[in-house]
Protein backbone atom coordinates (compact mmCIF):
# COMPACT_ATOMS: atom_id res chain seq x y z
CA UNK A 1 0.00 0.00 0.00
CA UNK A 2 1.26 3.45 -0.91
CA UNK A 3 1.78 5.74 2.06
CA UNK A 4 0.71 8.74 -0.01
CA UNK A 5 -2.26 9.17 -2.33
CA UNK A 6 -4.04 11.83 -4.36
CA UNK A 7 -7.44 13.12 -3.29
CA UNK A 8 -9.77 15.93 -4.22
CA UNK A 9 -10.14 17.94 -1.02
CA UNK A 10 -12.79 20.58 -0.28
CA UNK A 11 -11.92 23.18 2.35
CA UNK A 12 -13.85 26.09 3.80
CA UNK A 13 -11.82 28.42 5.99
CA UNK A 14 -12.12 32.16 6.53
CA UNK A 15 -15.20 32.09 4.28
CA UNK A 16 -13.06 30.82 1.39
CA UNK A 17 -14.53 27.69 -0.20
CA UNK A 18 -12.21 25.73 -2.47
CA UNK A 19 -11.68 22.30 -4.02
CA UNK A 20 -8.24 21.15 -5.14
CA UNK A 21 -6.31 17.97 -5.87
CA UNK A 22 -3.90 17.30 -3.02
CA UNK A 23 -1.40 14.66 -1.98
CA UNK A 24 -2.28 13.19 1.41
CA UNK A 25 -0.64 10.70 3.74
CA UNK A 26 -2.34 7.38 4.39
CA UNK A 27 -2.33 8.26 8.11
CA UNK A 28 -4.75 11.14 7.38
CA UNK A 29 -7.55 8.76 6.39
CA UNK A 30 -10.48 8.33 8.79
CA UNK A 31 -10.30 5.21 10.96
CA UNK A 32 -12.83 2.67 9.68
CA UNK A 33 -12.56 -1.08 9.38
CA UNK A 34 -12.03 -1.52 5.61
CA UNK A 35 -9.41 0.31 3.53
CA UNK A 36 -9.56 0.26 -0.25
CA UNK A 37 -7.60 1.43 -3.24
CA UNK A 38 -10.26 3.25 -5.26
CA UNK A 39 -10.31 2.18 -8.90
CA UNK A 40 -13.22 4.25 -10.22
CA UNK A 41 -15.60 6.88 -8.92
CA UNK A 42 -18.11 9.15 -10.64
CA UNK A 43 -19.04 12.80 -10.89
CA UNK A 44 -22.72 13.14 -10.00
CA UNK A 45 -24.81 16.30 -9.77
CA UNK A 46 -24.55 16.18 -5.98
CA UNK A 47 -20.75 15.99 -6.31
CA UNK A 48 -20.88 19.01 -8.62
CA UNK A 49 -22.80 20.96 -5.98
CA UNK A 50 -20.23 19.96 -3.35
CA UNK A 51 -17.16 20.78 -5.44
CA UNK A 52 -18.40 24.14 -6.69
CA UNK A 53 -20.04 25.13 -3.40
CA UNK A 54 -23.32 25.85 -5.18
CA UNK A 55 -25.28 23.68 -2.77
CA UNK A 56 -25.03 22.97 0.98
CA UNK A 57 -23.94 19.36 0.42
CA UNK A 58 -20.78 19.12 2.50
CA UNK A 59 -21.42 18.77 6.24
CA UNK A 60 -17.85 18.98 7.56
CA UNK A 61 -14.45 20.12 6.36
CA UNK A 62 -12.03 19.13 5.01
CA UNK A 63 -14.05 16.75 2.82
CA UNK A 64 -13.24 14.36 0.01
CA UNK A 65 -16.33 14.34 -2.27
CA UNK A 66 -17.63 11.41 -4.32
CA UNK A 67 -20.85 9.55 -3.47
CA UNK A 68 -19.98 6.44 -5.54
CA UNK A 69 -16.88 4.26 -5.67
CA UNK A 70 -15.51 0.87 -6.61
CA UNK A 71 -12.30 -0.28 -4.99
CA UNK A 72 -10.04 -3.20 -4.09
CA UNK A 73 -9.72 -4.02 -0.40
CA UNK A 74 -6.17 -3.48 0.90
CA UNK A 75 -6.77 -4.06 4.61
CA UNK A 76 -9.85 -5.44 6.34
CA UNK A 77 -10.86 -5.79 9.98
CA UNK A 78 -14.26 -7.07 8.88
CA UNK A 79 -15.46 -10.65 8.65
CA UNK A 80 -17.39 -9.72 5.49
CA UNK A 81 -14.54 -8.63 3.24
CA UNK A 82 -11.14 -10.00 2.34
CA UNK A 83 -7.96 -8.43 1.01
CA UNK A 84 -8.02 -7.94 -2.79
CA UNK A 85 -11.82 -8.28 -2.91
CA UNK A 86 -13.63 -5.80 -5.18
CA UNK A 87 -16.26 -3.76 -3.36
CA UNK A 88 -18.90 -1.21 -4.32
CA UNK A 89 -20.37 1.75 -2.42
CA UNK A 90 -23.29 4.12 -2.98
CA UNK A 91 -24.54 6.69 -0.51
CA UNK A 92 -24.44 6.53 3.32
CA UNK A 93 -23.35 10.17 3.45
CA UNK A 94 -20.01 9.35 1.85
CA UNK A 95 -18.74 12.48 0.09
CA UNK A 96 -20.97 14.61 2.35
CA UNK A 97 -20.36 13.58 5.98
CA UNK A 98 -17.62 10.99 5.40
CA UNK A 99 -14.65 11.08 3.02
CA UNK A 100 -15.72 9.78 -0.35
CA UNK A 101 -14.68 8.33 -3.66
CA UNK A 102 -12.80 11.08 -5.51
CA UNK A 103 -9.44 9.88 -4.24
CA UNK A 104 -7.02 7.02 -4.69
CA UNK A 105 -7.63 5.55 -1.23
CA UNK A 106 -10.51 5.42 1.23
CA UNK A 107 -11.22 4.06 4.69
CA UNK A 108 -14.81 2.85 4.97
CA UNK A 109 -17.27 1.01 7.22
CA UNK A 110 -18.08 -2.52 6.11
CA UNK A 111 -21.82 -1.82 6.50
CA UNK A 112 -21.57 0.68 3.62
CA UNK A 113 -20.07 -1.85 1.20
CA UNK A 114 -21.30 -4.71 -0.94
CA UNK A 115 -19.24 -7.10 -3.09
CA UNK A 116 -18.96 -6.02 -6.72
CA UNK A 117 -21.15 -8.44 -8.73
CA UNK A 118 -19.08 -10.83 -10.83
CA UNK A 119 -21.07 -9.76 -13.88
CA UNK A 120 -19.76 -6.19 -13.71
CA UNK A 121 -16.29 -4.70 -14.10
CA UNK A 122 -15.31 -1.82 -11.79
CA UNK A 123 -15.70 0.67 -14.64
CA UNK A 124 -19.11 -0.68 -15.64
CA UNK A 125 -20.38 -0.30 -12.08
CA UNK A 126 -19.45 3.37 -12.10
CA UNK A 127 -20.86 3.88 -15.59
CA UNK A 128 -24.13 2.76 -13.98
CA UNK A 129 -23.55 4.54 -10.66
CA UNK A 130 -26.21 5.89 -8.33
CA UNK A 131 -28.41 6.90 -11.28
CA UNK A 132 -28.80 3.38 -12.63
CA UNK A 133 -28.96 1.91 -9.13
CA UNK A 134 -31.83 4.24 -8.18
CA UNK A 135 -33.68 3.41 -11.40
CA UNK A 136 -33.34 -0.31 -10.63
CA UNK A 137 -34.63 0.17 -7.08
CA UNK A 138 -37.65 1.95 -8.55
CA UNK A 139 -38.36 -0.84 -11.03
CA UNK A 140 -38.05 -3.51 -8.34
CA UNK A 141 -40.57 -1.55 -6.25
CA UNK A 142 -43.03 -1.53 -9.18
CA UNK A 143 -42.53 -5.26 -9.68
CA UNK A 144 -43.22 -5.95 -6.01
CA UNK A 145 -46.55 -4.12 -6.42
CA UNK A 146 -47.52 -6.43 -9.26
CA UNK A 147 -46.78 -4.10 -12.17
CA UNK A 148 -45.92 -6.19 -15.25
CA UNK A 149 -45.41 -5.38 -18.94
CA UNK A 150 -49.08 -6.32 -19.46
CA UNK A 151 -50.26 -3.71 -16.94
CA UNK A 152 -50.13 -0.82 -19.41
CA UNK A 153 -48.04 2.27 -20.12
CA UNK A 154 -45.32 3.22 -17.62
CA UNK A 155 -44.54 6.94 -17.35
CA UNK A 156 -41.01 8.15 -16.65
CA UNK A 157 -40.66 11.82 -15.75
CA UNK A 158 -37.38 13.72 -16.01
CA UNK A 159 -36.57 11.21 -18.72
CA UNK A 160 -33.42 12.92 -19.94
CA UNK A 161 -31.88 12.94 -16.47
CA UNK A 162 -29.64 10.23 -15.05
CA UNK A 163 -32.32 8.25 -13.23
CA UNK A 164 -34.91 8.94 -15.92
CA UNK A 165 -32.82 7.79 -18.87
CA UNK A 166 -31.75 4.61 -17.06
CA UNK A 167 -35.40 3.96 -16.15
CA UNK A 168 -36.48 4.24 -19.79
CA UNK A 169 -33.66 1.95 -20.89
CA UNK A 170 -34.19 -0.71 -18.20
CA UNK A 171 -37.97 -0.76 -18.47
CA UNK A 172 -37.69 -1.28 -22.22
CA UNK A 173 -35.23 -4.15 -21.72
CA UNK A 174 -37.78 -5.76 -19.39
CA UNK A 175 -40.56 -5.50 -21.97
CA UNK A 176 -42.53 -2.53 -20.62
CA UNK A 177 -44.18 0.14 -22.79
CA UNK A 178 -42.61 3.43 -21.73
CA UNK A 179 -43.89 7.00 -22.04
CA UNK A 180 -41.09 9.52 -21.43
CA UNK A 181 -41.83 13.05 -20.15
CA UNK A 182 -39.11 15.63 -20.67
CA UNK A 183 -38.52 19.36 -20.94
CA UNK A 184 -36.09 18.67 -23.77
CA UNK A 185 -38.35 17.44 -26.53
CA UNK A 186 -35.48 18.04 -28.97
CA UNK A 187 -34.11 14.80 -27.46
CA UNK A 188 -37.11 12.78 -28.63
CA UNK A 189 -35.05 10.64 -31.01
CA UNK A 190 -32.56 9.87 -28.25
CA UNK A 191 -35.31 8.80 -25.84
CA UNK A 192 -36.92 6.60 -28.48
CA UNK A 193 -33.55 4.96 -29.11
CA UNK A 194 -33.43 4.21 -25.36
CA UNK A 195 -36.79 2.49 -25.69
CA UNK A 196 -39.53 5.09 -25.17
CA UNK A 197 -42.60 4.37 -27.29
CA UNK A 198 -43.88 7.91 -26.80
CA UNK A 199 -42.36 11.21 -25.67
CA UNK A 200 -44.44 13.99 -24.10
CA UNK A 201 -43.56 17.52 -23.05
CA UNK A 202 -43.18 17.96 -19.31
CA UNK A 203 -45.53 20.97 -19.56
CA UNK A 204 -48.40 18.48 -19.73
CA UNK A 205 -47.66 17.60 -16.10
CA UNK A 206 -45.73 20.49 -14.51
CA UNK A 207 -48.52 23.05 -13.95
CA UNK A 208 -51.13 22.92 -11.16
CA UNK A 209 -53.74 20.32 -12.12
CA UNK A 210 -57.02 18.73 -11.12
CA UNK A 211 -57.39 16.32 -8.18
CA UNK A 212 -58.32 13.61 -10.68
CA UNK A 213 -57.35 13.46 -14.34
CA UNK A 214 -57.97 10.98 -17.12
CA UNK A 215 -56.60 7.52 -16.31
CA UNK A 216 -53.51 7.18 -18.52
CA UNK A 217 -50.71 5.23 -16.85
CA UNK A 218 -50.45 1.91 -15.07
CA UNK A 219 -47.40 3.12 -13.13
CA UNK A 220 -44.74 5.80 -13.09
CA UNK A 221 -41.20 6.54 -12.00
CA UNK A 222 -40.93 10.18 -10.94
CA UNK A 223 -37.72 12.09 -10.30
CA UNK A 224 -39.32 15.55 -10.46
CA UNK A 225 -41.71 16.00 -7.51
CA UNK A 226 -43.96 19.02 -6.89
CA UNK A 227 -46.88 19.57 -9.33
CA UNK A 228 -45.49 16.93 -11.67
CA UNK A 229 -45.77 14.19 -9.05
CA UNK A 230 -49.24 15.40 -8.06
CA UNK A 231 -50.41 15.25 -11.68
CA UNK A 232 -48.82 11.83 -12.15
CA UNK A 233 -50.81 10.51 -9.19
CA UNK A 234 -53.98 12.05 -10.63
CA UNK A 235 -53.31 10.35 -13.99
CA UNK A 236 -52.75 6.80 -12.76
CA UNK A 237 -55.18 4.02 -13.58
CA UNK A 238 -57.04 2.21 -10.82
CA UNK A 239 -54.50 0.40 -8.61
CA UNK A 240 -51.61 2.26 -10.21
CA UNK A 241 -48.23 2.76 -8.55
CA UNK A 242 -45.73 5.62 -8.67
CA UNK A 243 -42.23 5.63 -7.20
CA UNK A 244 -40.82 8.98 -6.08
CA UNK A 245 -37.03 9.32 -6.16
CA UNK A 246 -36.26 12.95 -6.96
CA UNK A 247 -37.24 16.59 -6.56
CA UNK A 248 -36.05 18.39 -9.68
CA UNK A 249 -39.16 20.60 -9.71
CA UNK A 250 -39.43 20.93 -5.94
CA UNK A 251 -39.86 19.24 -2.57
CA UNK A 252 -43.52 20.19 -2.27
CA UNK A 253 -46.36 17.80 -3.07
CA UNK A 254 -49.50 19.88 -3.84
CA UNK A 255 -51.80 16.90 -4.29
CA UNK A 256 -55.20 15.59 -3.30
CA UNK A 257 -56.10 12.35 -1.54
CA UNK A 258 -58.66 11.68 -4.32
CA UNK A 259 -56.56 9.28 -6.44
CA UNK A 260 -55.53 7.38 -3.32
CA UNK A 261 -59.03 6.76 -2.00
CA UNK A 262 -60.97 6.67 -5.28
CA UNK A 263 -58.50 4.78 -7.45
CA UNK A 264 -56.51 2.93 -4.81
CA UNK A 265 -53.16 4.11 -6.10
CA UNK A 266 -49.86 3.70 -4.22
CA UNK A 267 -47.00 6.18 -3.80
CA UNK A 268 -43.68 4.59 -2.84
CA UNK A 269 -40.62 6.53 -1.78
CA UNK A 270 -37.26 5.38 -3.14
CA UNK A 271 -34.21 6.06 -0.99
CA UNK A 272 -30.85 5.03 -2.42
CA UNK A 273 -28.66 6.43 0.36
CA UNK A 274 -29.43 4.33 3.44
CA UNK A 275 -30.82 1.28 1.67
CA UNK A 276 -30.49 -2.07 3.50
CA UNK A 277 -27.68 -4.27 2.20
CA UNK A 278 -30.01 -7.00 0.92
CA UNK A 279 -31.78 -4.46 -1.33
CA UNK A 280 -28.50 -3.05 -2.64
CA UNK A 281 -27.18 -6.50 -3.50
CA UNK A 282 -30.40 -7.43 -5.29
CA UNK A 283 -30.48 -4.21 -7.33
CA UNK A 284 -26.85 -4.50 -8.41
CA UNK A 285 -27.23 -8.16 -9.31
CA UNK A 286 -30.17 -7.26 -11.57
CA UNK A 287 -28.17 -4.46 -13.16
CA UNK A 288 -25.31 -6.84 -13.87
CA UNK A 289 -27.72 -9.19 -15.64
CA UNK A 290 -29.47 -6.52 -17.71
CA UNK A 291 -27.19 -3.65 -18.71
CA UNK A 292 -25.36 -3.86 -22.01
CA UNK A 293 -21.79 -2.65 -22.54
CA UNK A 294 -22.56 -0.73 -25.72
CA UNK A 295 -25.20 1.30 -23.88
CA UNK A 296 -22.79 2.17 -21.05
CA UNK A 297 -20.11 3.30 -23.50
CA UNK A 298 -22.61 5.55 -25.32
CA UNK A 299 -23.73 7.35 -22.19
CA UNK A 300 -20.41 7.83 -20.36
CA UNK A 301 -17.10 9.63 -20.61
CA UNK A 302 -13.97 8.90 -18.60
CA UNK A 303 -11.79 11.49 -16.89
CA UNK A 304 -9.09 11.40 -14.20
CA UNK A 305 -8.82 13.13 -10.83
CA UNK A 306 -6.97 16.11 -12.29
CA UNK A 307 -9.97 16.87 -14.53
CA UNK A 308 -12.65 16.74 -11.86
CA UNK A 309 -12.84 20.41 -10.77
CA UNK A 310 -13.07 21.73 -14.33
CA UNK A 311 -15.64 19.12 -15.36
CA UNK A 312 -17.67 19.82 -12.19
CA UNK A 313 -17.98 23.45 -13.25
CA UNK A 314 -19.07 22.37 -16.73
CA UNK A 315 -21.60 20.00 -15.17
CA UNK A 316 -23.14 22.79 -13.09
CA UNK A 317 -23.27 25.01 -16.19
CA UNK A 318 -25.38 22.35 -17.92
CA UNK A 319 -22.73 21.49 -20.48
CA UNK A 320 -22.31 17.80 -19.62
CA UNK A 321 -24.61 15.05 -20.84
CA UNK A 322 -24.50 11.48 -19.61
CA UNK A 323 -22.38 9.79 -16.99
CA UNK A 324 -18.90 10.99 -15.97
CA UNK A 325 -16.64 8.17 -14.77
CA UNK A 326 -13.49 9.06 -12.88
CA UNK A 327 -10.46 6.78 -13.19
CA UNK A 328 -8.85 7.35 -9.82
CA UNK A 329 -5.60 5.49 -10.50
CA UNK A 330 -4.47 7.46 -13.58
- Report the pLDDT value the prediction gives residue 180, as an integer from 0 to 100: 97
- Decide if 283 is inside a domain: no
User: 14 and 64: one domain?
Assistant: yes
Task: Look up the CATH number of the domain holding residue 154.
Answer: 3.40.50.720
User: 305 and 251: one domain?
Assistant: no
- Report the pLDDT value the prediction gives residue 1, as an integer from 0 to 100: 63
Domain that holds residue 48: 4-116+293-327
- Per DSSP, 28 falls in state G
User: 99 and 149: one domain?
Assistant: no
User: 176 and 262: one domain?
Assistant: yes
- Report the pLDDT value the prediction gives residue 318, as an integer from 0 to 100: 82
Which among 254, 269, 284 is the end of a domain?
269
User: 98 and 134: one domain?
Assistant: no
User: 243 and 142: one domain?
Assistant: yes
User: 46 and 77: one domain?
Assistant: yes
Task: Look up the CATH number of the domain holding residue 91.
Answer: 3.90.180.10
Q: What is the pLDDT of residues 89-127, one digit of tens each?
A: 999 999 999 999 999 999 999 999 999 999 999 999 999
**List of the chain residues with pLDDT < 50:** none
- Decide if 221 is inside a domain: yes
Q: What is the pLDDT of residues 44-87, one digit of tens each?
A: 989 999 999 998 899 899 999 999 999 999 999 999 999 999 99
- Decide if 137 is inside a domain: yes
User: 111 and 138: one domain?
Assistant: no
- Decide if 123 is inside a domain: no
- Decide if 173 is inside a domain: yes
DSSP 3-state assignment of 279?
Answer: helix
Contact in structure between 183 and 201 (CB atoms under 8 Å): yes
Secondary structure (DSSP) of 209-253: --SS----EEEEEESSBHHHHHHHHHTEEEEEEEEE---SSBS--
User: 261 and 308: one domain?
Assistant: no
Provide the 10 A C-beta neighbour count for residue 144. Answer: 10
- Decide if 29 is inside a domain: yes
**Angle, CA of 139, 289 and 41, to the nearest 5°:** 85
For residues 143, 147, 150, 155, the Cα torsion angle rounded to the nearest 10 degrees is -110
Amino acid sequence: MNTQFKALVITNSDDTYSASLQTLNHSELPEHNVTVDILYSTLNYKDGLAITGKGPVVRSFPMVPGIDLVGKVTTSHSSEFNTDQLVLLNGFGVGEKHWGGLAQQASLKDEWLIPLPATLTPKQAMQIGTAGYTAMLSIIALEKQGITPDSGDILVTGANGGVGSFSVYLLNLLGYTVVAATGRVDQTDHLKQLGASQVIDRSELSAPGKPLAKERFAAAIDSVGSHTLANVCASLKYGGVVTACGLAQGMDFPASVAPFILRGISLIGIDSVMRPKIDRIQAWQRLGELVEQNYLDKISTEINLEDVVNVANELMAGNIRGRVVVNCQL
